[in-house]
Amino acid sequence: MKALIVANWKMQPATFREARALFDATKKAADAARGVQVIVAPPAIFLRELSKGYRGRITFAVQNAHSATDTAHTGEISFAQARDARATYALVGHAERRHPPTGGGEIDEEVRKKVAAALAADIIPILCVGEVERTGSGEHFNFVKEQLRVGLKDVSPSNLKRVIITYEPLWTIGQPRPMDAREMHEMAIFIRKSIVESYGQAGMDIKILYGGSINEATAPDMLKNGDVKGLLVGRASADGSHVTRLLASIANA
């Protein structure tokens, strides 16, 4: 496999008709991109209808779910409900949920509970970590290490292989270019080292993705030199022509 690509559509498109058209374009692009595994994370309201009857190469993720299993959570969905709608993966702790513009985002303890709840529902958590900003002091390493420590706290050694880590520094999201691939390589080494401290050599096999302002021009270099197994793609994945070019650039690299 050349790469694992997670297409996070965020809160778009506006209608199911548009969602179906985007999914059809993504399916066509994924079928043509040999060696590229694609996961689509649509808005939850579209998940069941898009997955219904589909038996192709694409798998599905839920963008968010609640960690609780009781019913008193108006407006939320559970990981069990997401699994029933054919979600195989779940984004957990995405930067836009940890640090929303209005404040009051998810804290590390909430993320920990969601990782555990996803695994309990037989869903693979894609645990997102990353600092808000860099000051040059190296403090961002400690920030990421603490997110990993808490987020993986309830993950047993046998379940570690079912977890995917995505590094998505908030300061890169929505920017013209991603961080330098050499910086990502350094962070990937640090992430593995941090996990090895808790899990031993099993931590060396953890899948690491990069997320943050990635497109067809920058993806091949990040995959080649960033020491990552794939990419979490936001903006570029919600446009059929963009996702077609992105997957082609990776498959042809």
Q: What residues act catalytically?
A: 94, 168
Assess contact for 253 and 223: CB atoms under 8 A.
Answer: yes
Distance CA 49, CA 69 (A): 24
Assess contact for 131 and 140: CB atoms under 8 A.
Answer: yes
What is the distance in angstroms between the CA of the first residue and the CA of the last residue of the chain? 13
HEC per residue, the chain: CCEEEEEECCCCCCCHHHHHHHHHHHHHHHHHCCCEEEEEECCHHHHHHHHCCCCCCCEEEECCCECCCCCCCCCCCEHHHHHHCCCCEEEECCHHHHCCCCCCCCCHHHHHHHHHHHHHCCCEEEEEECCCCCCCCCHHHHHHHHHHHHHCCCCCCCCHHHCEEEECCHHHCCCCCCCCHHHHHHHHHHHHHHHHHHHHHHHHHCEEEEECCCCCCCHHHHHHHCCCCEEEECHHHHCHHHHHHHHHHHHCC
Q: Which residue in this structure is represented by tokens 């689509």?
A: 40
